[in-house]
Amino acid sequence: MSNSTAHATTLNQVALHGFLNHLRNERRYSPLTEDNYSRDICRLFKLAGTTPLNELKSHQIRRFVAQLHGSSLGGKSLARMLSAWRSFYFYLIRDHQFNCNPCIGLRAPKSARNLPHALSPDEAVRMMELPTAGDILAVRDKAMFELFYSSGLRLAELVSLDPSELDFIDAVVRVIGKGAKTRIVPLGSHAISALQAWLTLRGQLAKQDETALFVSRNGSRIGSRAVQLRMSGWGITQGMTSGVHPHLLRHSFASHVLQSSGDLRAVQEMLGHASISTTQVYTHLDYQYLSKIYDSAHPRAKKKRY
């Protein structure tokens, strides 16, 4: 590695370190979001090669995007990456005397919008009916799954909860969401029962000074990956035909509440979406559901058999 290349690499790493501190301390982003930004910006470093970041122009950024698109990276991923690069350059302008942001005005190629998969109500109920007798980890898992489905939490929100954020009297949970925004979300009766059952046993697993609501078998706060693995395993045990993951229960919560209430604004508030356009995808799920009901029930929709 030449001296100039090593110098550029060092400058990039210093800038990235400062930017991640900015995300953590000023913008209050979660560790998971911080990791995603770091990964996207390291991709920019790789694409730029020996070219200093302050010398990159818009046509070069556009070429990077085209390269990534040509390697089968989808429009949604490219849009996220461009957003990360744009934010990084705004930081560099503010704190490192950069003159311009070459990512401004660039858009990622559009890709087909895939609707999130959701469990049917019967499948969701089956997923909640875990055999918990004599199994403290199953009691914990049932409480986690009921909470996901009852309140539509994100995975990072669930693993960061402490018992003090539960209010069984008012049947709500206080959640710290994206951007450190707090919201109050209702708790269903099944979730309350499952959580109370877990809390009576939690002390058998939790370390003495551990504040987490959900802990692993070693007594410390449970990690996101552990939750994903436990849910995937239980999905197989419970006979789910497709993989079950935490975001699937969040999608199912949103879809089922919207089917019952039709109140898009309420679903937006409970999910913690900053924009209602993000929530509107569930109206398409709702229309799909209604179409299935129509096709199975309406005499004119039924195919004739000869």
Mean pLDDT of 51-57: 92
| pLDDT value at 20 more than 80 | yes
Give the type of residue at 159.
V
Per the annotation, the verdict on 247 as an active-site residue is yes
Predicted confidence band of residue 12 (pLDDT cuts 50, 70, 90): confident
Three-state DSSP at 224 gives: helix
Confidence of residue 282 (pLDDT cuts 50, 70, 90): low
Please report whether residue 62 resides in a domain: yes
pLDDT for residue 287 is more than 50: no
Q: Does residue 250 have an active-site annotation?
A: yes
Surface-to-core class of residue 57, CB atoms within 10 Å of its CB (0-12 exposed, 13-18 middle, 19+ buried): exposed
pLDDT at 266: 63
Annotated catalytic, 46?
no
pTM over 0.75: no
Percent pLDDT > 90 in the chain is 48
Secondary structure of the chain: what % helix, strand, coil (to 5)? 60, 5, 35
Confidence of residue 151 (pLDDT cuts 50, 70, 90): confident
CA distances in angstroms from 227 to 127, 142, 247, listed in the order given: 14, 11, 11
* Whether pLDDT at 66 is above 60: yes
Q: Is the pLDDT of residue 108 over 90?
A: no
Q: Are residues 25 and 83 in the same domain?
A: yes
**Window from 50-64, 103-117, 186-200 with minimum mean pLDDT:** 103-117
Among 89, 91, 149, 282, the active-site one is: 282
Please say if the pLDDT value at position 138 is more than 70: yes
Q: What distance in Å separates the CA atoms of residue 77 and residue 69, rounded to the nearest whole number?
A: 9
Instruction: Give the count of domains, the chain.
Output: 2
**Same-domain pairing of 141 and 85:** no
Over range 137-161, report the average pLDDT: 91
**Catalytic pick among 174, 183, 273, 289:** 273
Asked whether residue 15 is domain-assigned, the answer is yes
| Same domain membership, residue 150 and residue 13 | no
The band of 274, judged by pLDDT with boundaries at 50, 70 and 90, is: low
Quick one: 49 and 182 in the same domain? no
Are 88 and 155 contained in the same domain? no
Tell me if 32 is assigned to some domain.
Answer: yes
Catalytic residue among 154, 221, 245, 256: 154
Residue 89 catalytic?
no
Query: Does 79 score more than 60 pLDDT?
Result: yes
Looking at the structure, tell me whether residues 128 and 219 fall in a common domain: yes
What percent of the chain lies above the pLDDT cut of 70? 79
User: Residue 127: which CATH number?
Assistant: 1.10.443.10
Residue 290: pLDDT over 50? no
Same domain, 176 and 39: no
**Contact at 8 Å (CB) between 195 and 145?**
no
* pLDDT at residue number 304: 46
- Per the domain annotation, does 104 fall within a domain? no
Mean pLDDT of 91-120: 82
Report the helix count and the strand count for the chain, using DSSP H and E.
13, 3
pLDDT value at 141 more than 80: yes
Residues 149, 52 share a domain: no
Per-residue pLDDT at 306 exceeds 70: no
By the 8 A CB rule, do 117 and 143 touch? no
Least confident of 18-27, 39-48, 88-97, 175-184: 175-184
Mean pLDDT in residue range 194-208: 96
Average model confidence (pLDDT) for the chain?
Answer: 83
Q: Is there a catalytic annotation at residue 207? A: no
pLDDT of 153:
87
Higher pLDDT, 61 or 182: 61
CATH number at residue 60: 1.10.150
Q: Is the pLDDT of residue 285 over 80?
A: no
Looking at residue 262, its pLDDT comes to 59
Mean pLDDT of 219-235: 94
182: β partners:
176
Annotated catalytic residue within 247, 284, 292, 302: 247
Q: Are residues 88 and 129 in the same domain?
A: no
154 is catalytic: yes
pLDDT recorded at residue 23: 92
As a whole number of angstroms, the distance between CA 244 and CA 127 comes to: 9
Structural domain of 36: 3-95
Residue 22, domain member (yes or no): yes
Catalytic, out of 202, 230, 250, 256 = 250
The catalytic position among 178, 183, 190, 289 is 178
State whether 139 and 273 are in the same domain.
Answer: yes
Mean pLDDT of 204-211: 94
Kindly state whether residue 114 falls inside one of the protein's structural domains.
no
What are all long-range contacts of 36-45, with beta carbons under 8 Å and residues at least 24 apart?
A: 36/80, 36/84, 37/84, 37/87, 37/88, 40/80, 40/81, 40/84, 40/85, 41/16, 41/84, 41/85, 41/88, 42/16, 43/68, 43/81, 44/85, 44/88, 45/9, 45/12, 45/16
